[in-house]
Amino acid sequence: NMAYPYFEECKAGRWLFEGKIGLTLLNSGVSVGFSYIGKDFWNALSSKNTVEFYNVLGKYLGALLVGAPIVTLYKYQRERLAVNWREWMTTRTLQLYEENRVYYAIERGGEVDNPDQRICEDVQSFTSFSLQLFLTIVSTVIDLVSFSLILYSIYPQLFIAIVAYASFGTIATTYLGKDLVRIN
């Protein structure tokens, strides 16, 4: 609810966000590509095939040349979006603080010192945590689907066993940790 106005009102924010989603997909693609190259690398090593080993080493170099800028741009774009969102939200919050004369109510209450600093810190916490949470969820879902498809194509029985194991672990952890969520 608090994030929606930024993406609705700020065109640059929408572009940064859409670019971030695209870079998240590319970043996951780089991870998948490296997993395939890693598989070929270890296969060449285990079979002691020097020709294939040097071939895969060349692929690694090519993947690094393509993947490193994508990963770097992914991190840069995340920080750029976070700073842009934070600047917008800080400006907006301070504007609402001044327009609605909230400072008079705070001043009379006498409980809050340095409200401008608190607003900035709260905005920073909100934007960084929200963005990190969202990007973690999106990238985790993308990676889960990508690597699940890879594992299923290699060894379906192992995939089923891992899903069963992860499901059991998740259910057990949820049951055992339900009190911790409330405490936290």
- Tell me the C-alpha distance between 81 and 98, whole Å: 26
* Contacting residues for 115 by C-beta, under 8 A, at least 6 apart: 97, 103, 106
Distances (CA, A) of 100 to 89, 93, 94, 104: 16, 11, 10, 9
- Tell me the C-alpha distance between 117 and 126, whole Å: 14
Mean pLDDT on 161-178: 93
The stretches of the chain forming alpha helices (DSSP H) are 4-9, 11-46, 50-99, 102-109, 115-154, 156-183
- Predicted confidence band at 58 (pLDDT cuts at 50, 70, 90)? very high
Quote the percentage of the chain above a pLDDT of 70. 92
Distances (CA, A) of 148 to 26, 109, 143: 17, 56, 8
Mean pLDDT on 14-35: 88
- Among the residue ranges 10-14, 51-55, 89-93, 114-118, the one predicted with the least confidence is 114-118
Q: Are 141 and 147 in contact (CB under 8 A)?
A: no
Q: Are 106 and 112 in contact (CB under 8 A)?
A: yes
pTM of the model: 0.70
Q: What is the sign of the dihedral through the CA atoms of 36, 42, 48 and 53?
A: positive
For residue range 90-146, list pLDDT tens digits in order: 888 888 777 777 666 666 655 667 777 777 888 888 888 888 998 899 989 998 998
Q: What angle do CA 133, 149, 137 make, to 5 degrees?
A: 5
